[in-house]
Structure 1
């Protein structure tokens, strides 16, 4: 027999009469607590997702960790030295400071527009600049390529000193030097390229862009005298990891060369 609405109301009334006010208040409290927990979990998941997206946002190189986790295989697995430059300084847009002895210090993340500022600094300093000293977690690939080409056009040398970092797209800049020196205790590493724009690309467009960029970088490194092994190392390393380069590997692929090489 199907229950009527009146029967349901009567049953609810009889149940309420059996439950004292204290029990009803406790039940109401537990319902509110459960609802609050549900919203907290939802908010936490949304915040965590937003934070993860920001941490890996390829359009914002300054949001990336300064020293990503090492690739789990390869030599060395961990950073071969300690980065002594302040992490917050490295996350800021790259700055160019003239040092004694014709050294131009380039410190910070390679942001879009960095190449134009670098070219203006080099032009303003005339023939005084002889060496570009790098301390950067990388960033914009197109700007790194332009900086590297200008370094070679001006026949400048490049160097990474002890305690400094040259990672991600920074080794592209390093490759432009006529003589390339990496001091013992410096940290140099590479990883895969990834989309550096906020524009949402289709899978086909993203693949096409990655292939085009890969071809551009490959040609440039070849022109700079770098062997394919360096780019192979980068391509096998996920973008959220870093393949740290050993002294031996840098010599073998030609990333260091000239009068001093690795010192």
Structure 2
């Protein structure tokens, strides 16, 4: 039985890697085309016709605006027990919140910036008795910091949750992935897109592609470490940085990014 589970897992990872490699080839081609973008007329290559409003299966791509705390694709406002600022904080803020019958949780809100992982570990160490659940509300940000926060969260054996009306976008799902148990409300939004790589314009294309592939390798390694199907990356690799792909329930559960969907 154990051997069968290993074989099934191996097949799933092999299938996922196949699609990830295909997506990487497409990404490399797009990178070459980006060098020609300055010669295109204004607006060429963009998608200004994206719909707004709540997403449905098959209609899951929206504009990405990291400054907005409540994007227009959200259906439900955050619960009254959670104080959401009008604009996203420029870096992560940490606090302990009372969720009523659900008990206390550590609440992370804001963009993920350089130094936030160290600040989070200091915050955890300062708590006399830390809650066992981490709730998230973030548009993402620095990927390496998200990995560090996630690994410290997993080492502390904490769970993660997405409450109604809250978002976890871009690199934030890597923190969500680190929970031992990972629950998401049907009225929360978990979304992904391509990592943004600020490569110099003078860098040869082959070196830029090499840097991107190295970053994607690190991401795959992290997801596998957390027990997540690396095929999740297909959704991010297929979505440009200025757009966001909102995962539906079947995708959250099928990739094991979420272990439970809450009403």
Q: TM-score scaled to structure 1, two decimals? A: 0.66
Which residue in the other structure is 1:82 paired with? Answer: 75
Q: Which runs of 5+ in 1 are unaligned?
A: 1-48, 53-67
Distance in 1 between residues matched to 2:161 and 2:132, nearest whole Å: 11
Please state which structure has a larger fraction of its residues in helix: 1
Local SS of the residue matching 1:122: helix
Distance in 1 between residues matched to 2:202 and 2:154, nearest whole Å: 33
Distance in 1 between residues matched to 2:131 and 2:77, nearest whole Å: 25
Please state which structure has a larger fraction of its residues in strand: 2
Which residue in the other structure is 1:39 paired with? Answer: none
- Of residues 180, 183, 186 in structure 2, which corresponds to 1:181? 183
Shift, 1:125, TM fit: 1.3
- Decide which moves more: 162-171 or 205-214: 205-214
Local SS of the residue matching 2:119: helix
Q: CA RMSD in A?
A: 2.9
Distance in 2 between residues matched to 1:262 and 1:136, nearest whole Å: 19
- Of residues 142, 157, 168 in structure 1, which corresponds to 2:159? 157
C-alpha contact 2:184 2:261 (8 A) present in aligned 1: yes
C-alpha contact 1:165 1:186 (8 A) present in aligned 2: yes
Distance in 2 between residues matched to 1:243 and 1:190, nearest whole Å: 5
Shift, 1:211, TM fit: 1.2
Which residue in the other structure is 2:111 paired with? Answer: 109
Q: Deviations over 1:147-170 (max 9, x none)?
A: 111111110000111000100000
Local SS of the residue matching 2:88: helix
Which residue in the other structure is 1:57 paired with? Answer: none
- Of residues 123, 144, 167 in structure 1, which corresponds to 2:169? 167
Distance in 2 between residues matched to 1:228 and 1:136, nearest whole Å: 22
Aligned residues: 194
Q: TM-score scaled to structure 2, two decimals? A: 0.66
Which residue in the other structure is 2:96 paired with? Answer: 98
Shift, 1:102, TM fit: 3.9
Shift, 1:94, TM fit: 1.3
The structure-2 alpha-carbon separation of the partners of 1:216 and 1:83, relative to structure 1 and needing over 3 Å to count, comes to: farther
Shift, 1:238, TM fit: 0.9
Shift, 1:82, TM fit: 3.0
Where do residues 95-244 of structure 1 align in structure 2 (5 Å cutoff)?
95-100=93-98, 101-196=103-198, 202=203, 203-244=205-246
Q: Rg larger in 1 or in 2?
A: 1
Which residue in the other structure is 1:248 paired with? Answer: 250
Shift, 1:226, TM fit: 1.0
Q: Deviations over 1:71-114 (max 9, x none)?
A: x9973425763374667432521100112334110001111111
The structure-2 alpha-carbon separation of the partners of 1:190 and 1:69, relative to structure 1 and needing over 3 Å to count, comes to: farther
Shift, 1:224, TM fit: 1.0
Q: Which runs of 5+ in 2 are unaligned?
A: 1-41, 44-50, 63-72, 79-83
Distance in 2 between residues matched to 1:213 and 1:95, nearest whole Å: 26
The structure-2 alpha-carbon separation of the partners of 1:200 and 1:73, relative to structure 1 and needing over 3 Å to count, comes to: farther
